[in-house]
Amino acid sequence: MTKRKKVNYNTARVNKEYSKCVSKVGKSVWQKYKYVRPKNKSLLKNLSLKKRWQAIEDSRKEFIKKHKKEMKEYDKRWKRTYKKCNKQRRKKKNTLSKPK
């Protein structure tokens, strides 16, 4: 019989709280505008692999140019929130860890 893996429920709770905290940032710009690959999927299939990726990359660059200001704002929000949530998570994990 195999041994059961021990689960630290406190750690699971800390991770859940962390994901809740991070989710407060909101949707990314990509999700907000529901970015999808280039519309002409039938044309993409006819292209070689290198040209297909080039078309996708061009589409991404165009999207980034169009929403540059929003992306910068989102990045600032994300960095601030990530830093705060990570700090809370580390503190809680350190209190939970047992000294060896």
Q: What is the pLDDT along the chain (100 residues), one digit of tens a residue?
A: 566 665 565 788 888 999 999 998 888 999 998 988 777 666 777 888 888 888 889 989 999 999 999 999 999 999 999 999 999 888 888 765 555 5
Q: How confident is the model at residue 68, as a pLDDT?
A: 95
Query: What is the residue whose two structure tokens read 């600032």?
Result: 76
Tokens for 50, please give them: 């290198």
Distance, CA of 56 to CA of 12 (rounded, Å): 38
Tokens for 24, please give them: 């407060």
Q: How confident is the model at residue 63, as a pLDDT?
A: 93
Q: Where are the domains of the chain?
A: 26-76
pLDDT tens figures, 28-52: 999 998 988 777 666 777 888 888 8
